[in-house]
Structure 1
Amino acid sequence: MIRASVRGLDEALPFVDAVAATRPEMRPVQQAAAVTPARPIGPSSAPRKTAAAPVAASKPRANAVVPLVFTRLETPRDNTPISDIYARYRSQRIEIAGAQEHPTPLVESIAMASVAPPVPSGAGCDDLRLPARLIEEGDLSEAQLETIIMAHDAHGRDLPGRMRLDDDQTKLTRADDDPNARAYRLGYFLGDGTGCGKGRECAGLILVNWLAGRKKAIWVSKSATLIEDAIRDWTDLGGSPADIQPLSKWKPDQPIPMGDGILFVTYATLRSAGKCGTTRLSQILDWMGEDFDGVLAFDEAHAMQNAAGSEQGRGVKPSQQGLAGLRLQLAAPRARVFYISATGATSVHNLAYAARLGLWGQGPEYPFPSREGFVSAMEAGGVAAMEVVARDLKTLGLYTARALSFDGVEYDVLEHALTPAQIEIYDAYAGAFRTIHHNLEAALTATGVNDASGETNASAARASAKSRFESTKQRFFNHL
């Protein structure tokens, strides 16, 4: 090996030649020409090839797509209460062949356990197919598979009557005799708590429809960073990371060139518009197409709360974010809407956007004549009324809500006893902030924010000053 320092290629050339001279010359290997044997004159002595034996049917590979087989239980299971509040959860209406239990025991409230969902109708069961390994290896647990089956069954039904969308695109009017009216597909609400795998269930539902040929889906979520969670859940089920693309990848006035795939949208992006007046909503609808029948999933759906406003107190106007989500689901009548929120039935405003559950509408089939009537009645009824709504939705096969069991969980209280010196320091700082708080109005008057009578001259400046004071106080004591 030669080591030398050179200042250019010209100086390096003699060293390269010296190394090359020491190497043996490489020559191509000469191959003998193949001799083609002459065809024999007499009959060949080699036995003729016998007919191939029939191949036995092979066992389906783990990655092979198989039907999701389940047995219907005409008599529902009774889920056993484990406390005054919760009952142990297990599917009450179906037994899924080969399914694994959820890794952690699940529970549901006593009120929800007291009723059972309907038996799945079986309509469209040919579309219920998944890779075998997802079932055999427990990548989708029994509880998660049940959600997929129940949501698939709900998506096989329509809202009563035919509907016409108003000019504002936020309300449906029943018009059975109108030839231009459309039938709207029922949605499904998943209210599982943290740890139940809501993202995995959403990805599983999209996969079922993907394998059935519906390879366009929309996944709406709260923030752009959650696309990483969506990609993780999708790839865990065998999908490709490239299948999920964010809407923010394209400008509002650009057409979306993606063919098949999952479009990831945030609620903030959904309500935005471009400089040319084009909206993100119209951009999404153009990509979906007029007859879109794929999954439209609203993850963290409570971000659309206040879609109907509020009539309490001075009233609250409908939020633009809620209205944007409402317009998206109403503009796609055949979409398979899938609401996901752990706080779905805690407030009436967390259901005011759920226009595809059949909670309101014209006709005797609907319990309330309008969304405003539903919100008003639920606000008057309080938590008890919301509990009744959740139970009724479960009996209709449109809602489920499970949570992780804390059975067997132990905890200890870690108490830090303050010394007299620490208490003295804390009290001194608390007294200082109390003095500032008592003199805050005087400081606002001295700076001209308030006039001499105490009335404000600049409400925004006053609110900003108080907000800064309170946030500074919280940060200080957190550090202390």
Structure 2
Amino acid sequence: MDDDGDLEGGEATTKNVFSNYFCSVKKGSSHPGDIAEAASLGAVKLPYTSYPLWDALPEDLVGSGKLSCLQLEGILHACTMHQKLLPGTGERAGFFIGDGAGVGKGRQIAGTIIDNYVRGRRKHVWVSISTDLHLDATRDFRDLGCHINIINNCQSLDKETRTFGLSKDYQEGVLFMTYSTLTSCSKGRSRIEQVIDWVGGASWSGVLVFDECHKAKNFAKDTGGTKMAAAVIELQQRLPQARVLYCSATGVSEVGNMAYMSRMGLWGPGTAFQDFEAFLDSMKKRGVSFMELLAMEMKAEGKYVARGLSFKDAEFMEVEAPLEKGQAAIYDDAVKLWKQLRRRLEYAEPMMPPVSSSTTAPSSAAGGGVSAGTAGTAAGGASSGGSSSKDVWRAYWAVQQRFFKLLCVSMKVLLVVSEAKEALAKGQSVVIGLQSTGEAAADAMNLSPGEVLPAFVSPTKEMLHRFVHVHFPTVVHHVEDGNPDLDGGDSSVAGSREVPELVQMKEELHEAIEAMQLPPNFLDHIIDELGGPAQVAEMTGRKGRVIRGSRGKLTYELRARPETADMDSLNVRERDAFMSGRKLVAIISDAASTGISLHASHTVKNQRRRIHMTVELPWSADKAIQQLGRTHRSNQVTGPIYKLISTRVGGEKRFAAAVARRLQSMGALTRGDRRAASGVDLSASNMDTPLGRKSLRRMYDAIVLESESLPPGVKMEDVYCDHPDAELFKCDDVSLTARHIARLHVQLREYCDLMGVGLSTNGKSKDTVVDDSSSRGRKSGGDGES
């Protein structure tokens, strides 16, 4: 019996995802804006606390409304939790502020530090993601009437260090630093050592803030994971008495990313789990429902708050960008080229070494490119040694995934421009959300400022050129053991020779790539269509761009001088231009998706309603939430209209489904309800569900058994035509033996995996299969079949 329906149906039993938040603190002003929390968390109350917060905070700070009752509540429970020590380790307990946009995490951090400063703890550390946010941190303190010195990063300590030590003004205050600085070194000494020395050693008990703490995810015990995660964990271990404050609306996108939260008391001596690995294993076995219970338990114990601005004033729309006839042809041509490239690599594979003789980073071809002028240098390559077959195929699939992802984004430009112009005509402002910029292609071409170009740079074309240039092998190196070592390097090396047939293949691939009509850089294209840099505020991390001059010529220019204060503050100036109304369109990338406010605030001149178009979904759910939060904050005149732009390409649908699944997981962890991650209902996009998997199994069975229930328009010969083992499917008696059926299952599962990950099937067939799978997934809910 199949109980998948029960698993899915459980979500429908409670329709109220959010409920109005009722604050337990009566002092302070009411919070500006409608605040809500997940209904499941609303069923749990924060514990009573007798912490004497009002003894430390000045009366005018509480009574004047500079801190709302909601913010005072967060400060009160953070200070209460910091009074406790974890059992077994003796480390001081931490507190997690998981509030979403509009609650004021910065004010709560400042208030917590002020309470400790008044009580005699004069040194504190605030770790965040960008030096630009130092201005926001300073503003939060100044708005509260506090003039504590906010030291801007460790570099300021370097400058103020004299022969006899630090200057007096830098011996106390708040050290504001970034995660990247925390992982770096200066003069042969790690920044972690510098921070520990500045605070006074392991006995220090000031406030240690990890703002936007989701940057510390991806820790792995065996490999160490990211440097940021390892540095955050090390700093907590070496400062056991620090009052740790975790702050992020997206602190955990998945339970596996919680390793840095060692002060929450969820694992370790005196708990139910010996270590994080045991905690993680248990959580994964129990699933999303247990994560929801975990969030509720953390709130009940006073470790955690997760309030957020209500989405009742916001609107959500899913807009589908149809593939024009020319775009479908470009997509299909790209698919054919990738298949051709795969066949050529398979031909050369027997001559590749099993293990690379030198390390070749597969990602080197992922975002870069080579200019068309070097495209024909077929024998050239970046590798100094031979690339193994494993390295080449790893790079192949990684680049293919990025290629089709960027191609899908480029194909949305026409719709995005049309929607933006319509919004501007209605008196609205537009925010366009991207993740990447395609700058790597321009970097690889070594463009100079002022250089005139015949057309916009195509990131997808340069990406293909780069992959072939670096990874397609043409040279055999004869090594001592007698095995040939094939790579794309220099044939002038002693004991090596070019393979003429492979050289010709490489030249033909470059020629085929150059002949393709691939779309231009989507970011440059959007800016150009919407009036150029004078009309569009760009908040990204790229150094240069291609613009259209007054005479219509396309020219490469620097956005700001590299390695200067101009580059650091450029995004801030662009934000001010948008908020003041001098520019009515803003484009943000991953680099500007955290900590920046673009909402229709009562305090700015540009109070037009925001139309926020998400054109490119990020890889991680937490980045998706961060970007959506830029236009929906407290004290706003109107809520935004969110438009999630997608194409009908099945691979992108699958990608969106993966993000939707992570959003649900994150909602369960950080909001206590899997549906409450962002206020956006993406459940329809999540195909990775019990019903979705059942639907996929049925499709496999239909194909293997040549059932009449194949999707409309799908023919067996079309499915098999490009399969490496197409001959296998032509056997008359293939369905008669279990052995053949089992083999077909394996082959088709692999084939479907490649279609989903690589996006590389033609646009028409992908639409048909995805539409049918989606409808079958919905229909499966009521039939009860297994």
TM-score grouping bracket, smaller chain normalisation? 0.5 to 0.7
| Conservation of the 8 A alpha-carbon contact between 1:155 and 1:186 | yes
3-state SS of 2:132 partner: helix
Question: How far off its partner does 1:389 sit?
Answer: 1.4
- Paired AA for residue 283 in structure 2: M
> Post-superposition shift, 1:135?
2.1
Cα deviation 1:12-70 (Å, max 9, x = unaligned): xxxxxxxxxxxxxxxxxxxxxxxxxxxxxxxxxxxxxxxxxxxxxxxxxxxxxxxxxxx
CA contact (8 A) 1:159 1:184 kept: yes
| Contact 1:115–1:394 (Cα < 8 Å) also in 2 | yes
Quote the residue 2:70 is aligned against.
Answer: 143
Query: Is the CA contact 1:222–1:266 (under 8 Å) kept in the aligned structure 2?
Result: yes
Name the counterpart of 2:281.
Answer: 376
Amino acid at match of 1:476: S
What amino acid does structure 1 have at the position aligned with 2:338? L
Q: Classify the secondary structure of the residue corresponding to 2:324.
A: helix
What's the counterpart of residue 30 of structure 2?
101
CA deviation digits over 1:433-476, x for unaligned, max 9?
32122222434776x79716698755276467536633652453
Counterpart Cα distance in 2 of 1:472 and 1:411: 27
Per the normalisation by structure 2, the TM-score is 0.42
Structure 1 position 414, deviation (Å): 10
Please say if 1:197 is aligned against 2:104: yes
Residue 343 (structure 1) shift: 2.1
The answer on 1:270 being equivalent to 2:182 is yes
After superposition, residues 220-299 of structure 1 pair within 5 angstroms as: 220-240=127-147, 242-250=149-157, 258-274=170-186, 276=188, 278-290=189-201, 291-299=203-211
Q: What residue in structure 1 maps to residue 628 of structure 2? A: none
CA offsets 1:332-366 (integer angstroms, 9 cap, x no match): 12111101111235421342211111111223xx1
Cα-to-partner distance string for 1:243-262 (whole Å, 9 max, x where unaligned)? 2321233559x776521111
Counterpart secondary structure, 1:264: strand
Taking the aligned partners of 2:343 and 2:135, their CA distance within structure 1 comes to: 50
SS at match of 1:339: strand
Q: Which amino acid aligns with 2:282?
A: A
Q: Secondary structure at the match of 2:246?
A: strand
Residue 22 (structure 2) aligns with: 90
Contact 1:159–1:185 (Cα < 8 Å) also in 2: yes
| Alignment of structure 1 residues 356-395 onto 2, 5 Å | 356-363=263-270, 366-395=271-300
Q: Which runs of 5+ in 1 are unaligned?
A: 1-81, 164-182, 310-314
Mapped to 2, the partners of 1:267 and 1:426 lie a distance apart of 44
CA contact (8 A) 1:297 1:338 kept: yes
Opposite residue 30 of structure 2, the aligned amino acid is: E
Cα distance in 2, alignment partners of residues 100 and 226 from structure 1: 26
Is 1:346–1:386's contact at 8 Å kept on the other side of the alignment? no
The residue that corresponds to 2:498 in the other structure is none
Residue type at the aligned position of 1:266: T
User: Is this contact kept in 2: 1:345–1:386, CA < 8 A?
Assistant: no
- Are the aligned partners of 2:131 and 2:152 in contact in 1 as well (CA < 8 Å)? no
Cα shift at 1:222? 1.8
Residue 40 of structure 2 aligns with an amino acid whose one-letter code is A
Q: Which of residues 214, 218, 222 in structure 1 aligns to 2:121?
A: 214
Q: Indicate conservation of the 8 Å contact 1:89/1:108, yes or no.
A: yes
Matches of 1:395 and 1:412 in 2, distance apart? 32
Change beyond 3 A, Cα 1:449–1:341: farther
Distance 1:115 1:239 in 2: 34
| DSSP 3-state at the match of 2:295 | helix
Letter in 1 for 2:287: G
Matches within 5 A, 1:35-74: none
Mean Cα displacement is larger for which, 210-219 or 140-149?
Answer: 210-219
1:440 matched to 2:338? The reply is: yes
The amino acid that maps onto 2:17 is I
Residue identity in the other structure for 1:335:
A
1:111 paired to 2:40: yes
- On the 8 A contact 2:107/2:141 being kept in 1, the answer is yes
Aligned partners of 1:192 and 1:306: how far apart in 2? 22
- Residue 223 of structure 1, CA deviation: 2.3
Q: What aligned pairs does 1:10-29 form with structure 2 within 5 A after superposition?
A: none
The question of 1:451 aligning with 2:362 is answered: no
Q: Does 1:396 align with 2:285?
A: no
Corresponding letter in the other structure for 1:273? C
Query: Identity rate of aligned residues, in percent?
Result: 34
- Identify which range, 349-358 or 334-343, moves more after superposition: 349-358
- Between the two proteins, the alignment pairs up a number of residues equal to 358
Aligned to 1:209, the other structure's residue is in SS state helix
Partner of 1:323: 230
Which whole-Å CA distance do the structure 1 matches of 2:18 and 2:144 have between them? 31
Instruction: Say if 1:308 and 1:353, in contact at 8 Å, map to a contact too.
Output: no
Paired residue for 1:476, among 389, 406, 410? 410
| Contact 1:127–1:208, Cα closer than 8 Å, also in 2 | no
Give the structure with the higher percent helix.
2
Structure 2 residue 50 is matched with structure 1 residue 153: no
1:205-257 CA-to-partner distances (Å, cap 9, x unmatched) read 111112222121110112222222212222211233842321233559x7765
Alpha-carbon distance change, 350 to 243 in structure 1, aligned in 2, over 3 angstroms? same
User: Gaps (5+ residues) in structure 2?
Assistant: 1-13, 353-387, 415-786
Does the Cα contact within 8 Å between 1:231 and 1:244 map onto a contact in 2? no
Following the alignment from structure 1 to structure 2, what is the Cα–Cα distance between the partners of residues 256 and 442? Answer: 64
* Other structure's SS at 2:287 match: helix
Structure 2 distance, partners of 1:403, 1:217, is 27
Tell me how far 1:151 sits from its aligned partner: 0.7
Pick closer, same or farther for the CA change 1:414–1:392 going to 2, 3 Å: closer
Retained in 1: the 8 A contact 2:214–2:252?
A: no
Q: CA-to-partner distance for each residue in 1:380-428, whole Å, 9 max, x for gaps?
A: 2222222111111111111111111133x26486979x9xxxx7x9221
Alpha-carbon displacement from aligned partner over 1:276-321 (angstroms, at most 9, x marks no partner): 2x21111110111122111101011111112345xxxxx9753321
**Partner-residue secondary structure (3-state), 1:239:** coil
Cα 1:323–1:256, aligned 2, differ >3 Å: closer, same or farther?
farther
Provide the secondary structure at the position in 1 that maps to 2:37. Answer: strand
Aligned to 1:206, the other structure's residue is in SS state helix
Secondary structure, aligned partner of 1:119: coil
Give yes or no for contact 2:98–2:247 (8 Å, CA) kept in 1. yes
* More displaced stretch, 437-446 vs 112-121: 437-446
Pairing partner for 1:302 from 214, 219, 239: 214
CA distance in 1, matches of 2:136, 2:233: 24
Matched residues in 2 for 1:392 and 1:342: separation? 18
Give the counterpart letter for 1:104 in structure 2. Answer: G
Give how far 1:193 is off: 0.7
